[in-house]
A and B are shown apart, each in its own frame.
Chain A
Amino acid sequence: MHHRPDPVDEVVVLTPARDARLLPYAFIALGGLAAALAGGQPYVATIAAPFLVAMVLGLRRWGPVRVRARVRVDRDRLVEGDVLMAHLEVEWEGALDARLMLHHLTGLVRDGGSPTSTTGRGVTSLDLPLRLQASRWGRHTLGEIWIRLRLPFGLLTWTGQVGSGPVVRVLPAPERLNRILHPRESRTVWGQHPSRRLADGHEFAELHPYVPGDRLRDLNWAATARLRRLVVNRHHPELAGQVVVALDAFHDGSAESMEALSRAARAAWALASLHLRANDRVGLVGLGGSMEWLPPAGGRQARYRLLDTLLKVGGDAADGLARTRRYPPMPASALMIVLTPLHTRDALGAVAAWRSRGRSVVVVVIDAVELIESDRSESERLGRRLWTLERQRRVDELRALGVPVVVLPPTGPITAAVAALGRVRRLHGRRGVRR
Protein backbone atom coordinates (compact mmCIF):
# COMPACT_ATOMS: atom_id res chain seq x y z
CA MET A 1 0.00 0.00 0.00
CA HIS A 2 1.33 3.44 -0.92
CA HIS A 3 2.06 6.07 1.67
CA ARG A 4 -0.42 8.89 1.13
CA PRO A 5 1.40 12.19 1.72
CA ASP A 6 -0.18 15.01 3.68
CA PRO A 7 -1.87 17.65 1.54
CA VAL A 8 0.11 20.81 0.89
CA ASP A 9 -1.72 24.01 1.91
CA GLU A 10 -0.69 27.46 0.80
CA VAL A 11 -2.33 30.85 1.32
CA VAL A 12 -1.54 33.67 -1.07
CA VAL A 13 -2.87 37.23 -1.22
CA LEU A 14 -3.35 38.39 -4.79
CA THR A 15 -3.36 42.08 -5.64
CA PRO A 16 -5.52 43.34 -8.50
CA ALA A 17 -4.16 44.30 -11.91
CA ARG A 18 -6.09 46.56 -14.23
CA ASP A 19 -7.68 45.27 -17.39
CA ALA A 20 -6.62 46.92 -20.65
CA ARG A 21 -10.07 48.55 -20.84
CA LEU A 22 -9.89 50.43 -17.56
CA LEU A 23 -7.70 53.33 -18.66
CA PRO A 24 -9.55 54.17 -21.91
CA TYR A 25 -12.92 53.88 -20.20
CA ALA A 26 -11.84 56.08 -17.30
CA PHE A 27 -10.32 58.60 -19.68
CA ILE A 28 -13.48 58.86 -21.78
CA ALA A 29 -15.88 58.86 -18.82
CA LEU A 30 -14.07 61.45 -16.75
CA GLY A 31 -12.90 63.41 -19.81
CA GLY A 32 -16.46 63.51 -21.13
CA LEU A 33 -17.79 64.89 -17.89
CA ALA A 34 -14.99 67.45 -17.73
CA ALA A 35 -15.63 68.48 -21.33
CA ALA A 36 -19.35 68.82 -20.60
CA LEU A 37 -18.50 71.12 -17.72
CA ALA A 38 -15.90 73.12 -19.59
CA GLY A 39 -17.96 73.52 -22.75
CA GLY A 40 -21.30 73.96 -21.04
CA GLN A 41 -22.64 71.09 -23.18
CA PRO A 42 -24.73 68.65 -21.13
CA TYR A 43 -25.08 66.35 -24.17
CA VAL A 44 -21.38 65.52 -23.99
CA ALA A 45 -22.09 63.88 -20.63
CA THR A 46 -24.50 61.51 -22.37
CA ILE A 47 -21.62 60.27 -24.54
CA ALA A 48 -19.60 59.57 -21.43
CA ALA A 49 -22.50 57.78 -19.73
CA PRO A 50 -21.99 54.24 -21.22
CA PHE A 51 -18.35 54.29 -20.13
CA LEU A 52 -19.37 55.45 -16.66
CA VAL A 53 -21.68 52.44 -16.42
CA ALA A 54 -18.86 50.10 -17.48
CA MET A 55 -16.59 51.57 -14.81
CA VAL A 56 -19.19 51.29 -12.07
CA LEU A 57 -19.86 47.65 -12.88
CA GLY A 58 -16.19 46.87 -13.39
CA LEU A 59 -14.89 48.38 -10.16
CA ARG A 60 -17.40 46.89 -7.71
CA ARG A 61 -14.49 45.09 -6.05
CA TRP A 62 -10.93 46.34 -5.99
CA GLY A 63 -9.19 45.03 -2.88
CA PRO A 64 -6.71 42.14 -2.67
CA VAL A 65 -8.08 38.61 -2.73
CA ARG A 66 -6.90 35.97 -0.30
CA VAL A 67 -6.57 32.62 -2.03
CA ARG A 68 -6.07 29.28 -0.32
CA ALA A 69 -4.67 26.41 -2.38
CA ARG A 70 -4.47 22.79 -1.38
CA VAL A 71 -2.73 20.04 -3.33
CA ARG A 72 -3.29 16.37 -2.62
CA VAL A 73 -1.39 13.53 -4.28
CA ASP A 74 -2.05 9.86 -3.80
CA ARG A 75 1.67 9.20 -3.31
CA ASP A 76 4.99 10.96 -3.57
CA ARG A 77 7.17 8.10 -4.74
CA LEU A 78 6.70 6.63 -8.17
CA VAL A 79 8.52 4.52 -10.67
CA GLU A 80 8.93 5.75 -14.24
CA GLY A 81 5.70 5.08 -16.11
CA ASP A 82 3.52 5.11 -12.98
CA VAL A 83 0.36 7.20 -12.90
CA LEU A 84 -0.02 9.83 -10.20
CA MET A 85 -3.48 11.00 -9.12
CA ALA A 86 -3.45 14.56 -7.84
CA HIS A 87 -6.16 16.97 -6.81
CA LEU A 88 -5.90 20.76 -6.74
CA GLU A 89 -8.38 22.70 -4.62
CA VAL A 90 -8.36 26.48 -4.60
CA GLU A 91 -10.80 28.69 -2.71
CA TRP A 92 -11.26 32.41 -2.11
CA GLU A 93 -13.78 34.86 -0.74
CA GLY A 94 -16.56 36.24 -2.90
CA ALA A 95 -17.98 34.97 -6.17
CA LEU A 96 -15.53 35.48 -9.05
CA ASP A 97 -14.91 34.10 -12.51
CA ALA A 98 -11.85 31.88 -12.28
CA ARG A 99 -9.42 29.93 -14.36
CA LEU A 100 -7.11 27.45 -12.63
CA MET A 101 -4.04 26.20 -14.47
CA LEU A 102 -1.12 23.90 -13.80
CA HIS A 103 2.06 25.06 -15.52
CA HIS A 104 5.64 23.85 -15.90
CA LEU A 105 5.23 20.17 -15.41
CA THR A 106 8.69 18.60 -15.29
CA GLY A 107 9.27 14.89 -15.22
CA LEU A 108 5.50 14.33 -15.35
CA VAL A 109 3.16 14.44 -18.32
CA ARG A 110 -0.61 14.46 -18.68
CA ASP A 111 -2.00 10.98 -18.87
CA GLY A 112 -4.80 10.13 -21.27
CA GLY A 113 -5.69 13.71 -22.16
CA SER A 114 -6.26 14.68 -18.53
CA PRO A 115 -6.85 18.46 -18.48
CA THR A 116 -4.42 20.72 -16.64
CA SER A 117 -6.79 23.69 -16.41
CA THR A 118 -10.38 24.41 -15.48
CA THR A 119 -12.68 27.40 -15.39
CA GLY A 120 -15.62 28.49 -13.30
CA ARG A 121 -18.04 31.42 -13.40
CA GLY A 122 -19.17 33.25 -10.29
CA VAL A 123 -17.63 30.62 -8.00
CA THR A 124 -15.79 30.71 -4.69
CA SER A 125 -13.67 27.62 -5.27
CA LEU A 126 -12.35 25.39 -8.04
CA ASP A 127 -11.23 21.76 -8.08
CA LEU A 128 -8.93 20.25 -10.65
CA PRO A 129 -8.39 16.50 -10.60
CA LEU A 130 -5.20 15.52 -12.39
CA ARG A 131 -3.94 12.28 -13.83
CA LEU A 132 -0.22 12.49 -14.52
CA GLN A 133 2.31 9.98 -15.68
CA ALA A 134 5.88 9.91 -14.42
CA SER A 135 7.94 10.31 -17.56
CA ARG A 136 11.40 10.93 -16.19
CA TRP A 137 13.21 9.84 -13.06
CA GLY A 138 14.31 12.45 -10.57
CA ARG A 139 12.90 14.69 -7.90
CA HIS A 140 10.29 16.96 -9.41
CA THR A 141 7.76 19.47 -8.17
CA LEU A 142 4.25 18.82 -9.35
CA GLY A 143 4.25 22.11 -11.26
CA GLU A 144 3.16 25.68 -10.72
CA ILE A 145 -0.47 26.31 -9.84
CA TRP A 146 -1.69 29.57 -11.32
CA ILE A 147 -5.08 31.18 -10.97
CA ARG A 148 -6.73 34.06 -12.73
CA LEU A 149 -9.72 35.64 -11.02
CA ARG A 150 -12.04 38.21 -12.47
CA LEU A 151 -15.16 39.87 -11.22
CA PRO A 152 -18.11 39.43 -13.61
CA PHE A 153 -18.22 42.70 -15.64
CA GLY A 154 -14.88 43.43 -13.98
CA LEU A 155 -12.13 45.75 -15.13
CA LEU A 156 -9.64 44.23 -12.69
CA THR A 157 -8.05 40.78 -12.61
CA TRP A 158 -6.25 38.93 -9.84
CA THR A 159 -3.59 36.66 -11.28
CA GLY A 160 -0.82 34.81 -9.55
CA GLN A 161 0.89 31.60 -8.60
CA VAL A 162 -0.90 30.12 -5.62
CA GLY A 163 1.24 27.05 -5.07
CA SER A 164 3.91 24.86 -6.50
CA GLY A 165 2.68 21.45 -5.52
CA PRO A 166 4.51 18.82 -3.51
CA VAL A 167 7.79 17.25 -4.54
CA VAL A 168 7.41 13.79 -6.01
CA ARG A 169 10.25 11.35 -6.39
CA VAL A 170 10.29 9.33 -9.56
CA LEU A 171 12.47 6.27 -9.31
CA PRO A 172 14.16 4.73 -12.32
CA ALA A 173 12.29 1.72 -13.64
CA PRO A 174 13.83 -1.56 -12.43
CA GLU A 175 16.49 -3.10 -14.63
CA ARG A 176 17.48 -6.74 -14.41
CA LEU A 177 21.16 -7.24 -13.64
CA ASN A 178 22.93 -10.30 -12.28
CA ARG A 179 26.58 -9.53 -12.92
CA ILE A 180 28.92 -7.28 -11.05
CA LEU A 181 32.25 -5.73 -11.98
CA HIS A 182 35.20 -6.28 -9.72
CA PRO A 183 37.20 -3.35 -8.35
CA ARG A 184 40.94 -3.41 -8.72
CA GLU A 185 41.56 -3.76 -4.99
CA SER A 186 39.27 -5.25 -2.41
CA ARG A 187 38.63 -4.14 1.11
CA THR A 188 39.22 -6.35 4.13
CA VAL A 189 35.59 -7.18 4.80
CA TRP A 190 33.69 -10.05 3.35
CA GLY A 191 32.11 -9.55 -0.03
CA GLN A 192 31.85 -11.15 -3.44
CA HIS A 193 35.03 -10.07 -5.18
CA PRO A 194 37.87 -12.59 -5.24
CA SER A 195 40.91 -11.00 -3.68
CA ARG A 196 44.52 -11.52 -4.68
CA ARG A 197 45.28 -12.28 -1.07
CA LEU A 198 45.36 -15.85 0.29
CA ALA A 199 42.90 -16.67 3.00
CA ASP A 200 39.61 -18.39 3.55
CA GLY A 201 37.49 -18.34 0.48
CA HIS A 202 35.93 -20.35 -2.25
CA GLU A 203 38.13 -19.60 -5.23
CA PHE A 204 41.08 -21.91 -5.59
CA ALA A 205 44.43 -20.11 -5.64
CA GLU A 206 47.25 -22.64 -5.37
CA LEU A 207 48.61 -25.87 -3.84
CA HIS A 208 50.94 -25.40 -0.93
CA PRO A 209 52.95 -27.80 1.27
CA TYR A 210 51.27 -28.33 4.58
CA VAL A 211 52.62 -26.31 7.48
CA PRO A 212 51.50 -26.58 11.07
CA GLY A 213 48.43 -24.46 11.58
CA ASP A 214 46.83 -25.34 8.24
CA ARG A 215 43.36 -26.76 8.53
CA LEU A 216 43.02 -30.47 7.84
CA ARG A 217 39.94 -29.89 5.73
CA ASP A 218 42.13 -27.95 3.28
CA LEU A 219 44.25 -31.05 2.58
CA ASN A 220 44.21 -31.95 -1.09
CA TRP A 221 44.20 -35.75 -0.90
CA ALA A 222 44.84 -36.34 -4.57
CA ALA A 223 47.88 -34.09 -4.61
CA THR A 224 49.08 -35.52 -1.29
CA ALA A 225 48.89 -39.08 -2.68
CA ARG A 226 50.63 -38.11 -5.88
CA LEU A 227 53.44 -36.10 -4.25
CA ARG A 228 53.69 -38.34 -1.15
CA ARG A 229 53.66 -35.38 1.23
CA LEU A 230 50.92 -33.34 2.76
CA VAL A 231 49.61 -30.67 0.42
CA VAL A 232 46.85 -28.19 1.15
CA ASN A 233 44.66 -26.04 -1.07
CA ARG A 234 44.94 -22.33 -0.69
CA HIS A 235 42.10 -19.98 -1.66
CA HIS A 236 41.47 -16.38 -2.55
CA PRO A 237 39.03 -14.79 -0.10
CA GLU A 238 35.89 -13.04 -1.41
CA LEU A 239 36.05 -9.48 -0.19
CA ALA A 240 34.05 -6.35 -0.66
CA GLY A 241 35.15 -3.48 -2.87
CA GLN A 242 34.42 0.14 -3.61
CA VAL A 243 32.48 1.18 -6.67
CA VAL A 244 31.61 4.69 -7.80
CA VAL A 245 28.90 5.11 -10.41
CA ALA A 246 29.26 8.32 -12.46
CA LEU A 247 26.11 9.39 -14.24
CA ASP A 248 26.37 11.91 -17.06
CA ALA A 249 23.05 13.79 -16.81
CA PHE A 250 23.61 16.31 -19.58
CA HIS A 251 21.06 16.16 -22.36
CA ASP A 252 20.16 18.14 -25.46
CA GLY A 253 16.50 18.58 -24.54
CA SER A 254 15.20 16.12 -27.15
CA ALA A 255 12.92 13.23 -26.29
CA GLU A 256 15.64 10.84 -27.44
CA SER A 257 18.25 12.25 -25.10
CA MET A 258 15.77 12.22 -22.21
CA GLU A 259 15.05 8.58 -22.94
CA ALA A 260 18.78 7.87 -23.01
CA LEU A 261 19.12 9.65 -19.67
CA SER A 262 16.36 7.50 -18.21
CA ARG A 263 18.09 4.40 -19.50
CA ALA A 264 21.36 5.57 -17.93
CA ALA A 265 19.61 6.17 -14.60
CA ARG A 266 18.02 2.73 -14.65
CA ALA A 267 21.40 1.19 -15.36
CA ALA A 268 23.06 3.28 -12.64
CA TRP A 269 20.49 2.27 -10.07
CA ALA A 270 20.68 -1.39 -11.08
CA LEU A 271 24.49 -1.37 -10.80
CA ALA A 272 24.45 0.46 -7.49
CA SER A 273 21.79 -1.82 -6.00
CA LEU A 274 23.58 -4.99 -7.05
CA HIS A 275 26.94 -3.84 -5.72
CA LEU A 276 25.35 -2.77 -2.44
CA ARG A 277 23.82 -6.22 -2.13
CA ALA A 278 27.30 -7.62 -2.75
CA ASN A 279 28.43 -5.77 0.40
CA ASP A 280 30.37 -3.22 -1.65
CA ARG A 281 30.66 0.40 -0.74
CA VAL A 282 29.00 2.39 -3.51
CA GLY A 283 29.32 6.08 -4.33
CA LEU A 284 27.70 8.26 -6.95
CA VAL A 285 28.84 11.22 -9.04
CA GLY A 286 26.30 13.20 -11.02
CA LEU A 287 27.68 15.09 -13.98
CA GLY A 288 24.69 17.27 -14.77
CA GLY A 289 23.37 20.74 -14.03
CA SER A 290 25.08 20.72 -10.65
CA MET A 291 27.74 18.21 -9.79
CA GLU A 292 26.60 15.83 -7.09
CA TRP A 293 29.11 13.71 -5.20
CA LEU A 294 28.24 11.01 -2.72
CA PRO A 295 31.34 9.21 -1.37
CA PRO A 296 31.24 5.42 -1.27
CA ALA A 297 29.36 3.89 1.63
CA GLY A 298 27.63 0.63 2.33
CA GLY A 299 24.52 -0.67 3.99
CA ARG A 300 20.88 0.25 3.96
CA GLN A 301 21.47 3.89 4.81
CA ALA A 302 23.86 4.20 1.88
CA ARG A 303 21.14 2.81 -0.36
CA TYR A 304 18.73 5.55 0.67
CA ARG A 305 21.36 8.25 0.32
CA LEU A 306 22.30 6.91 -3.08
CA LEU A 307 18.70 6.99 -4.20
CA ASP A 308 18.28 10.50 -2.89
CA THR A 309 21.38 11.69 -4.71
CA LEU A 310 20.32 9.91 -7.86
CA LEU A 311 16.96 11.68 -7.78
CA LYS A 312 18.70 15.00 -7.21
CA VAL A 313 20.88 14.35 -10.25
CA GLY A 314 17.70 13.67 -12.22
CA GLY A 315 16.07 16.86 -10.99
CA ASP A 316 19.15 18.90 -11.91
CA ALA A 317 19.65 17.25 -15.29
CA ALA A 318 20.67 20.09 -17.52
CA ASP A 319 20.39 21.00 -21.12
CA GLY A 320 23.72 22.73 -21.42
CA LEU A 321 27.16 22.90 -22.87
CA ALA A 322 30.05 21.07 -21.39
CA ARG A 323 32.38 23.17 -19.29
CA THR A 324 35.60 22.63 -17.47
CA ARG A 325 35.03 21.38 -13.95
CA ARG A 326 36.95 20.24 -10.94
CA TYR A 327 36.07 16.62 -10.55
CA PRO A 328 36.00 15.17 -7.02
CA PRO A 329 38.94 12.95 -6.04
CA MET A 330 38.02 9.29 -6.07
CA PRO A 331 39.24 6.57 -3.68
CA ALA A 332 42.30 4.87 -5.16
CA SER A 333 40.84 1.39 -4.88
CA ALA A 334 37.45 2.26 -6.32
CA LEU A 335 36.19 1.11 -9.66
CA MET A 336 34.60 3.98 -11.56
CA ILE A 337 31.65 3.00 -13.75
CA VAL A 338 30.75 5.94 -16.00
CA LEU A 339 27.33 5.91 -17.67
CA THR A 340 27.08 8.47 -20.43
CA PRO A 341 25.28 9.05 -23.72
CA LEU A 342 28.30 11.21 -24.70
CA HIS A 343 26.06 14.14 -25.61
CA THR A 344 28.73 16.47 -24.32
CA ARG A 345 32.46 16.17 -23.81
CA ASP A 346 32.03 16.57 -20.06
CA ALA A 347 32.19 12.84 -19.44
CA LEU A 348 35.39 12.64 -21.48
CA GLY A 349 36.95 15.31 -19.32
CA ALA A 350 35.95 13.49 -16.16
CA VAL A 351 37.28 10.15 -17.37
CA ALA A 352 40.57 11.73 -18.47
CA ALA A 353 40.93 13.43 -15.09
CA TRP A 354 40.32 10.21 -13.20
CA ARG A 355 42.55 8.14 -15.47
CA SER A 356 45.36 10.66 -15.06
CA ARG A 357 45.20 9.97 -11.33
CA GLY A 358 45.47 6.24 -11.94
CA ARG A 359 41.86 5.35 -11.19
CA SER A 360 40.27 2.26 -12.64
CA VAL A 361 37.52 3.48 -14.97
CA VAL A 362 35.06 1.69 -17.24
CA VAL A 363 32.54 3.44 -19.47
CA VAL A 364 29.06 2.34 -20.54
CA VAL A 365 27.91 4.48 -23.47
CA ILE A 366 24.12 4.74 -23.65
CA ASP A 367 23.22 4.47 -27.31
CA ALA A 368 20.96 7.43 -28.08
CA VAL A 369 21.49 7.22 -31.83
CA GLU A 370 19.23 4.21 -32.14
CA LEU A 371 16.48 6.09 -30.31
CA ILE A 372 16.27 8.72 -33.02
CA GLU A 373 13.38 8.16 -35.40
CA SER A 374 14.16 6.97 -38.90
CA ASP A 375 15.47 9.71 -41.15
CA ARG A 376 12.79 11.74 -42.85
CA SER A 377 15.02 13.93 -44.96
CA GLU A 378 18.47 14.08 -46.39
CA SER A 379 19.56 16.62 -43.78
CA GLU A 380 18.33 14.36 -40.97
CA ARG A 381 20.20 11.41 -42.46
CA LEU A 382 23.32 13.53 -42.68
CA GLY A 383 22.82 14.80 -39.11
CA ARG A 384 22.50 11.27 -37.77
CA ARG A 385 25.61 10.20 -39.65
CA LEU A 386 27.60 13.15 -38.32
CA TRP A 387 26.47 12.45 -34.78
CA THR A 388 27.34 8.77 -35.13
CA LEU A 389 30.82 9.68 -36.33
CA GLU A 390 31.27 12.22 -33.54
CA ARG A 391 30.20 9.70 -30.92
CA GLN A 392 32.54 7.08 -32.37
CA ARG A 393 35.36 9.63 -32.21
CA ARG A 394 34.61 10.21 -28.54
CA VAL A 395 34.51 6.47 -27.88
CA ASP A 396 37.90 6.13 -29.60
CA GLU A 397 39.25 8.93 -27.43
CA LEU A 398 38.13 7.01 -24.36
CA ARG A 399 39.72 3.81 -25.60
CA ALA A 400 42.93 5.68 -26.32
CA LEU A 401 43.01 6.53 -22.62
CA GLY A 402 43.03 2.80 -21.88
CA VAL A 403 39.46 2.76 -20.72
CA PRO A 404 37.23 -0.25 -21.45
CA VAL A 405 34.10 0.95 -23.25
CA VAL A 406 30.89 -0.83 -24.17
CA VAL A 407 27.81 0.56 -25.88
CA LEU A 408 24.51 -0.20 -24.19
CA PRO A 409 21.71 -0.57 -26.75
CA PRO A 410 18.44 1.28 -26.09
CA THR A 411 16.60 -1.94 -25.41
CA GLY A 412 17.62 -5.27 -23.95
CA PRO A 413 19.09 -6.22 -20.60
CA ILE A 414 22.00 -4.35 -19.13
CA THR A 415 23.48 -7.67 -18.01
CA ALA A 416 24.82 -8.32 -21.50
CA ALA A 417 26.58 -4.96 -21.53
CA VAL A 418 28.12 -5.56 -18.11
CA ALA A 419 29.30 -8.99 -19.20
CA ALA A 420 30.84 -7.47 -22.32
CA LEU A 421 32.53 -4.87 -20.17
CA GLY A 422 34.01 -7.65 -18.05
CA ARG A 423 35.41 -9.33 -21.15
CA VAL A 424 36.88 -6.06 -22.38
CA ARG A 425 38.47 -5.49 -18.99
CA ARG A 426 40.03 -8.94 -19.11
CA LEU A 427 41.49 -8.09 -22.50
CA HIS A 428 42.88 -4.96 -20.92
CA GLY A 429 44.66 -7.20 -18.43
CA ARG A 430 42.39 -6.56 -15.51
CA ARG A 431 40.18 -8.89 -13.62
CA GLY A 432 36.84 -9.57 -15.16
CA VAL A 433 33.30 -10.26 -14.12
CA ARG A 434 32.01 -13.12 -12.14
CA ARG A 435 28.57 -14.54 -12.16
Chain B
Amino acid sequence: MRSPIRTVLMVATVVLIAGVAFVAAALNPPGTRAWLIGCAIIATATAVQAVTSEPRDLIPALLFALPPVVGLVSRGAPAWLGPPLACLLLLAGELGSLSWEGPVRMLEDGVLSTRLGEAGIVVVLGLGLAVLLDTIAGMGIPRGTWTMVVGSLGLVGFAVITFRD
Protein backbone atom coordinates (compact mmCIF):
# COMPACT_ATOMS: atom_id res chain seq x y z
CA MET B 1 0.00 0.00 0.00
CA ARG B 2 1.39 3.39 -1.00
CA SER B 3 1.59 6.28 1.38
CA PRO B 4 0.02 9.60 0.35
CA ILE B 5 3.46 11.23 0.29
CA ARG B 6 4.77 8.63 -2.09
CA THR B 7 1.73 9.00 -4.34
CA VAL B 8 2.24 12.77 -4.46
CA LEU B 9 5.90 12.30 -5.40
CA MET B 10 5.01 9.81 -8.13
CA VAL B 11 2.33 12.05 -9.59
CA ALA B 12 4.63 15.09 -9.44
CA THR B 13 7.35 13.18 -11.29
CA VAL B 14 5.03 12.14 -14.09
CA VAL B 15 3.40 15.55 -14.33
CA LEU B 16 6.78 17.32 -14.55
CA ILE B 17 8.13 15.00 -17.25
CA ALA B 18 4.91 15.09 -19.25
CA GLY B 19 4.54 18.86 -18.80
CA VAL B 20 8.10 19.61 -19.91
CA ALA B 21 7.93 17.25 -22.87
CA PHE B 22 4.54 18.44 -24.17
CA VAL B 23 5.21 22.16 -23.61
CA ALA B 24 8.59 21.94 -25.34
CA ALA B 25 7.09 19.92 -28.19
CA ALA B 26 4.28 22.43 -28.63
CA LEU B 27 6.77 25.32 -28.81
CA ASN B 28 8.85 23.65 -31.50
CA PRO B 29 8.42 24.61 -35.19
CA PRO B 30 5.47 22.84 -36.91
CA GLY B 31 7.74 20.70 -39.09
CA THR B 32 9.09 18.62 -36.25
CA ARG B 33 6.26 19.05 -33.75
CA ALA B 34 4.47 15.79 -34.61
CA TRP B 35 7.62 13.72 -34.01
CA LEU B 36 8.37 15.55 -30.79
CA ILE B 37 4.82 15.07 -29.48
CA GLY B 38 5.34 11.36 -30.12
CA CYS B 39 8.49 11.57 -28.01
CA ALA B 40 6.49 13.35 -25.28
CA ILE B 41 3.86 10.60 -25.28
CA ILE B 42 6.52 7.91 -24.94
CA ALA B 43 8.27 9.93 -22.21
CA THR B 44 5.02 10.15 -20.24
CA ALA B 45 4.28 6.46 -20.62
CA THR B 46 7.77 5.41 -19.55
CA ALA B 47 7.65 7.84 -16.64
CA VAL B 48 4.42 6.23 -15.43
CA GLN B 49 6.03 2.81 -15.80
CA ALA B 50 9.18 3.92 -13.96
CA VAL B 51 7.39 5.25 -10.89
CA THR B 52 4.83 2.47 -10.58
CA SER B 53 6.74 -0.70 -11.30
CA GLU B 54 10.12 -2.31 -11.59
CA PRO B 55 12.65 -1.61 -12.92
CA ARG B 56 12.91 1.78 -11.28
CA ASP B 57 14.60 3.39 -14.20
CA LEU B 58 13.97 6.96 -15.37
CA ILE B 59 16.49 6.80 -18.25
CA PRO B 60 13.87 6.19 -20.99
CA ALA B 61 11.52 8.85 -19.62
CA LEU B 62 14.23 11.52 -19.38
CA LEU B 63 15.75 10.61 -22.74
CA PHE B 64 12.42 10.79 -24.57
CA ALA B 65 11.59 14.09 -22.83
CA LEU B 66 14.89 15.58 -23.91
CA PRO B 67 14.45 15.86 -27.73
CA PRO B 68 11.58 18.40 -27.48
CA VAL B 69 13.74 20.48 -25.09
CA VAL B 70 16.81 20.23 -27.30
CA GLY B 71 14.61 21.10 -30.29
CA LEU B 72 14.02 24.52 -28.78
CA VAL B 73 17.49 25.60 -29.98
CA SER B 74 16.23 25.46 -33.58
CA ARG B 75 15.34 28.62 -35.41
CA GLY B 76 11.99 30.18 -34.46
CA ALA B 77 11.67 28.51 -31.03
CA PRO B 78 12.20 30.21 -27.66
CA ALA B 79 15.72 28.90 -26.94
CA TRP B 80 15.86 30.61 -23.55
CA LEU B 81 13.27 28.07 -22.27
CA GLY B 82 15.78 25.22 -22.69
CA PRO B 83 17.66 25.59 -19.38
CA PRO B 84 14.54 26.09 -17.19
CA LEU B 85 12.85 23.08 -18.75
CA ALA B 86 16.02 21.02 -18.27
CA CYS B 87 15.98 22.04 -14.61
CA LEU B 88 12.38 20.83 -14.33
CA LEU B 89 13.47 17.49 -15.79
CA LEU B 90 16.21 17.36 -13.17
CA LEU B 91 13.63 18.08 -10.49
CA ALA B 92 11.47 15.26 -11.89
CA GLY B 93 14.45 12.92 -11.60
CA GLU B 94 14.98 13.94 -7.98
CA LEU B 95 11.31 13.48 -7.06
CA GLY B 96 11.17 10.15 -8.87
CA SER B 97 14.19 8.94 -6.94
CA LEU B 98 12.63 10.12 -3.69
CA SER B 99 9.41 8.26 -4.45
CA TRP B 100 11.44 5.03 -4.61
CA GLU B 101 12.81 5.46 -1.11
CA GLY B 102 10.89 2.41 0.07
CA PRO B 103 10.20 2.63 3.76
CA VAL B 104 7.49 5.13 4.52
CA ARG B 105 9.20 5.82 7.84
CA MET B 106 12.21 7.22 6.01
CA LEU B 107 9.96 9.82 4.46
CA GLU B 108 8.50 10.61 7.85
CA ASP B 109 11.84 10.97 9.67
CA GLY B 110 12.51 14.42 8.20
CA VAL B 111 14.32 12.84 5.27
CA LEU B 112 11.67 14.09 2.85
CA SER B 113 12.20 17.75 3.67
CA THR B 114 15.97 17.29 3.60
CA ARG B 115 15.93 15.61 0.23
CA LEU B 116 13.50 18.15 -1.19
CA GLY B 117 15.79 20.91 0.05
CA GLU B 118 18.76 19.23 -1.63
CA ALA B 119 16.81 18.86 -4.86
CA GLY B 120 15.93 22.55 -4.73
CA ILE B 121 19.57 23.55 -4.22
CA VAL B 122 20.72 21.34 -7.11
CA VAL B 123 18.05 22.79 -9.40
CA VAL B 124 18.93 26.38 -8.50
CA LEU B 125 22.66 25.76 -8.95
CA GLY B 126 21.99 23.99 -12.25
CA LEU B 127 19.86 26.86 -13.46
CA GLY B 128 22.58 29.28 -12.42
CA LEU B 129 25.22 27.41 -14.40
CA ALA B 130 22.90 27.14 -17.41
CA VAL B 131 22.15 30.87 -17.32
CA LEU B 132 25.85 31.61 -16.99
CA LEU B 133 26.69 29.46 -19.98
CA ASP B 134 23.75 30.88 -21.93
CA THR B 135 24.93 34.41 -21.21
CA ILE B 136 28.47 33.60 -22.24
CA ALA B 137 27.22 31.97 -25.44
CA GLY B 138 24.98 34.98 -26.16
CA MET B 139 27.85 37.38 -25.69
CA GLY B 140 29.90 35.42 -28.17
CA ILE B 141 32.84 35.33 -25.72
CA PRO B 142 34.51 32.92 -26.14
CA ARG B 143 33.60 31.96 -29.68
CA GLY B 144 32.69 28.49 -30.89
CA THR B 145 31.10 25.37 -29.50
CA TRP B 146 34.44 23.80 -28.63
CA THR B 147 35.28 26.68 -26.36
CA MET B 148 31.82 26.45 -24.81
CA VAL B 149 32.16 22.75 -24.01
CA VAL B 150 35.72 23.10 -22.74
CA GLY B 151 34.60 26.02 -20.61
CA SER B 152 31.73 24.07 -19.02
CA LEU B 153 33.98 21.05 -18.40
CA GLY B 154 36.50 23.39 -16.84
CA LEU B 155 33.79 24.71 -14.51
CA VAL B 156 32.86 21.14 -13.59
CA GLY B 157 36.50 20.26 -12.90
CA PHE B 158 36.86 23.33 -10.73
CA ALA B 159 33.71 22.35 -8.79
CA VAL B 160 34.93 18.76 -8.30
CA ILE B 161 38.26 19.94 -6.90
CA THR B 162 36.54 22.50 -4.68
CA PHE B 163 33.74 20.40 -3.24
CA ARG B 164 35.30 16.94 -3.09
CA ASP B 165 35.52 15.52 0.44
Residues of A within 8 A of B (CB): 19-21, 23-25, 27-28, 32-33, 35-37, 39-57, 59-61, 94, 97, 99, 117, 119, 121, 151-153
Contact = CB atoms under 8 A, between A and B. Distances in A.
Interface string B120-148: 01110111011101100100000011101
A93 to B, nearest CB: 9
B126 to A, nearest CB: 3
Interface string B19-50: 00000000000000000000000000000000
B165 A21 contact: no
B160 interface: yes
B82 A47 contact: yes
24 contacts: A21-B58, A28-B66, A36-B148, A39-B145, A43-B134, A44-B82, A45-B133, A46-B131, A47-B82, A48-B86, A48-B152, A50-B83, A50-B86, A50-B90, A50-B126, A51-B126, A53-B122, A54-B90, A54-B122, A54-B126, A56-B159, A57-B125, A151-B165, A152-B118
Contact of B145 (A42, A55, A152): A42
Interface pairs A-B: 7 shortest CB-CB: A50-B126, A42-B148, A49-B130, A53-B126, A42-B137, A49-B129, A47-B86
Given A19-B97, A25-B93, A47 B146 contact: no
B115 to A, nearest CB: 9
Nearest to A94: B165
Nearest to A53: B126
Question: Which of the listed residues B56, B58, B130 has the most CB atoms from chain A within 10 Å of its own CB?
Answer: B130
A53 B93 CA distance: 14
B64 to A, nearest CB: 11
Interface of B: 56-59, 62-63, 66, 69-70, 73, 79, 82-83, 85-87, 89-90, 93-94, 97, 100, 105-106, 109-111, 114, 118, 121-123, 125-127, 129-131, 133-134, 137, 144-146, 148-149, 152-153, 156, 159-160, 163-165
B70 A35 contact: yes
A56 B149 CA distance: 16
B21 to A, nearest CB: 13
B145 A50 contact: no
B145 A36 contact: yes
A60 B73 contact: no
